[in-house]
Structure 1
């Protein structure tokens, strides 16, 4: 007697469900690893962008024997308004010496075509002419829409971190890389700002600026590697910043600390905005906190502008801290580095090395007064902001202790 066997050509329902469950578990296990790998790749790309900027700064220095200026351009050319073109060959408007160092290095990051547009008179579609070096970089989108100046609305890929999703209006051309202005925010002014029409200098305020200008970059002043007395490898030259997404993030949306008073530099002045953080969502401002009204005035929103908000930072509060202003929101800023990476942000050292600074870096006494004149910490003092502050100063002779 023969036994007959019947061949099965498929799975049973139970077997199919088991296979689907196993695949689901594997996908669940692998997806975080894939996402982490993608962020690691974006972070590496961000670091490479920074290395190219560092190389561009060194090449600029080799060509001109100084670093690119953070605060350059034209000033009051033929009495023309800052944001008004005209029909003459010389052009109208002027940049008020507020162009960032990122403008100067465009020829050194393979953006020669963009540099040619900027460094020559620019004819708009309506036949009007912007003078060489363009209009005031903080000119509004509305004005530039009526009188287009394409360089100021151009996104430069090398100035963007792939991890930052910020894109488009109301910002113009965005940047994720900024100049280091040291550990005292009186450095956001320059000596020229305190000279009146008769040519007489306000010596008191000039002395404030000189004492506070302790970073690798000094606003509207030529700086060279020889000025970095602490050593290029011990001094931060540039840092990473995030751009704003319109979500009241404390790192990219500037809050107001009230009027321009001495409390800005006195003990506890750095923390005057901290009470406006939403306790339930500490990465965002409270709905009642006063913030800058113009939606164009946001962190990293204009790569061509040298103002503190757009392309500079200070080493007072540690990375990914709040952004705060004290009256003049274009200049008197408290702004650190920040990023969309987890746990910190990149910095570019003076020797071209790129390092990742964690949020937990030793930052000294954040309640301290700043180094300036006016009965606060005297000029030449070591940074009160710990290792973080010491890295931001170029010639204070601090001994760096700690890892970063």
Structure 2
């Protein structure tokens, strides 16, 4: 009797079962891998913020001042964009002065020394106007510091890279709970109190001092830790923003009414239906994005491809380098008049469910989108400082209280 030899190997059914099991395991594993990668990126983002916080404290130790916002060289009457008269019109953000304190001494050396353009002209120290267009940059051969992407200023979760944005940043200065006079227009570009028909606008300066209640105050001189009366651990110094990807994200591209009833300086058209008009542009099918074809007329994108959120790290326009504690994180942007104007500029991030903030004491906290923002949806509450008593409690709940530096609002619970 001859025995049949047993065949070795898998049957087709067995092979298909094994492949199916492997597919299921891979499907289960991939989200875990993605979550682990995002956790690592989030930790790296937090570490960047801690390094910046340390830089702020080292700056204060060196100069006994908070890094100024809207500073630099004054208007000399020439063309700020070309040599030899180029200057930055007191428009530098809080970040250029911090560069030597977070290991970017080489960039600081370029910024703090005169620079020779490709045409042989000399631009004085601290560079030309930071809001140069790409064509202006080409005309002077490219001012490298303003075009440089500094790793410390970038969140690893933000995929934004390259042109048309120039040097990107994800870390913005906190201006507190008001947009009134947040463009620094109460001082002119020579550092003097602004004038109207030859008369100093002291009322603008008074309004700004009342409204600008955050850690940073545009063009106000001499701010120091002593001015943060709520305590450094109770006051937000900086917060995350996302950079523009050209996809009409409501958090990185600005909508607004270019023919609003008020100037960009006061932002008062936010009270006159401006934000309602902005919300009308949110795509109902994709509520994280604008659809600028939904409304015709002057309500539209105010920034443009070259001028998205976080697109110019050295420039002190609110759109590029500031946020307010009015709307909760990851809300929509709405501007008054144009990209250089005042408006509603929330914090935002590519992390799930919220964003990081840097407290005045250097601690980094993660704030969720659901944080108590009080009356942020009430238009009558949005111009803090316009008749609001100095030191009044913020109308924007816990979020607003964290943004103010001297309203005697101490946060007792752990965030």
TM-score range, shorter chain: over 0.9
From 326, 340, 343, the equivalent of 1:330 is: 340
* Structure-1 separation of matches of 2:78 and 2:270: 36
2:397 aligns with: 386
Mapping 1:173-184, distance limit 5 Å: 173-184=167-178
1:370 Cα deviation (Å)? 3.4
1:294 Cα deviation (Å)? 3.0
* Structure-2 separation of matches of 1:294 and 1:275: 19
Runs of 5+ consecutive residues of structure 1 not aligned to the other structure: 87-91
Residues 160 and 212 of structure 1: CA distance in aligned 2, closer, same or farther (over 3 Å): same
Please say if 1:106 is aligned against 2:99: yes
* Structure-2 separation of matches of 1:287 and 1:158: 34
2:187 aligns with: 192
1:403 Cα deviation (Å)? 5.6
Mapping 1:3-402, distance limit 5 Å: 4=3, 6-77=5-76, 79-86=77-84, 92-147=85-140, 148-190=142-184, 191-193=186-188, 194-196=193-195, 200-221=199-220, 222-257=222-257, 258-261=259-262, 263-264=268-269, 266=271, 271-288=276-293, 289=295, 290-292=300-302, 294-366=304-376, 367=378, 368-370=380-382, 372-374=384-386, 376-400=387-411
- Please state whether the residue corresponding to 1:379 is helix, strand or coil: coil
Residues 340 and 325 of structure 1: CA distance in aligned 2, closer, same or farther (over 3 Å): same
1:189 Cα deviation (Å)? 3.3
Let me know the Cα RMSD of the aligned residues: 2.0
* Structure-1 separation of matches of 2:90 and 2:215: 19
- Please state whether the residue corresponding to 1:26 is helix, strand or coil: helix
* Structure-1 separation of matches of 2:238 and 2:187: 24
Residues 58 and 380 of structure 1: CA distance in aligned 2, closer, same or farther (over 3 Å): same
Q: Is the 8 A contact 2:171 2:321 kept in 1?
A: yes
* Structure-1 separation of matches of 2:182 and 2:341: 5
1:53-110 deviation per Cα after TM superposition (whole angstroms, max 9, x unaligned): 0001111111111111111110124x33110113xxxxx3001111111101100111
- Please state whether the residue corresponding to 2:187 is helix, strand or coil: helix
1:9-44 deviation per Cα after TM superposition (whole angstroms, max 9, x unaligned): 321211111111110010011011001111111111
Q: Is the 8 A contact 2:180 2:268 kept in 1?
A: no
1:259 Cα deviation (Å)? 1.2
* Structure-1 separation of matches of 2:288 and 2:80: 36
Runs of 5+ consecutive residues of structure 2 not aligned to the other structure: none
1:175-229 deviation per Cα after TM superposition (whole angstroms, max 9, x unaligned): 0000000101014133313522897421222211111010000002232111100
- Please state whether the residue corresponding to 1:186 is helix, strand or coil: coil
* Structure-1 separation of matches of 2:276 and 2:217: 24
Deviates more, 1:197-206 or 1:296-305: 197-206
Residues 317 and 175 of structure 1: CA distance in aligned 2, closer, same or farther (over 3 Å): same
1:280 Cα deviation (Å)? 1.7
Q: How many aligned residue pairs are there? A: 396
Residues 336 and 18 of structure 1: CA distance in aligned 2, closer, same or farther (over 3 Å): same
* Structure-2 separation of matches of 1:110 and 1:29: 41
